[in-house]
Amino acid sequence: MPETILVSACLLGLPTRYDGSAKRNQAVLDWLAREKLIPVPVCPEQLAGLPTPREQTRFSRGDGRAVATGNGEVATFSGQSMNECFLRGAHITLRIARITGCQRALLKERSPSCGVHQIHCNDAMVAGVGVATALLIDAGVSVQSEEDLPVTGG
Ligand code: SF4
């Protein structure tokens, strides 16, 4: 039976980003085909019920793990806390992983929901994970970003 993998919807070419754009990544599509993986597209921020386009967000304190433990904050650029909303989207994302049997995820680097190694906190790019990423990792899902994929020659 083919293996399913959760994938950030924007990487697959769906226009889910805050500004209504996509971030289609051909290397991701090629890798999925090569590995014979069935992608399950998710956008934690849309799953939270946020509109597209929507106001851009970033962390003002900590990262996704800090938000999940009540010690961080993700906020819009105009200063509105989005913790509750992002946690809702992260929980729904985790539920979808379970329903579809995904034990792996490939998520968009540096997003406040999907970041795997880095996130934006205030004006800096720092080490950390997005809110959905934190919940997935804690639930035992193996998470990587598009930047972790092997570079193929040729
Ligand atoms: S929340 Fe994740 S899937 Fe949605 S647009 Fe941002 S990076 Fe892409």
Contact 114, 108 (CB under 8 A): yes
Residue 71's φ and ψ, nearest 5 degrees, are -115, 5
Q: How far apart are the first and last CA of the chain?
A: 30
105-128 pLDDT, tens digit per residue, is 999 999 999 999 999 999 999 999
Report how far ligand 1's centroid is from the alpha carbon of 46 (Å): 8
pLDDT digits (tens, 9 = 90+) for 11-66: 999 999 999 999 999 999 999 999 999 999 999 999 999 999 999 999 999 999 99
What kind and span of H or E run contains 44?
A: helix 44-47
Q: Give, for ligand 1, the residue of 43, 52, 143 to mutate: max count of ligand atoms closer than 8 Å to Cβ.
A: 43
CB 15 within 8 A of CB 8: no
**pLDDT value, residue 1:** 80
What pLDDT score was predicted for residue 153? 56
In ligand 1, which atom is closest to the CA atom of 113?
1
Helices assigned H by DSSP within 69-130: 83-99
CA of 45 relative to ligand 1 center, distance in Å? 6
Q: Pick the atom of ligand 1 nearest to 9's CA.
A: 3
* Predicted pLDDT of residue 151: 80
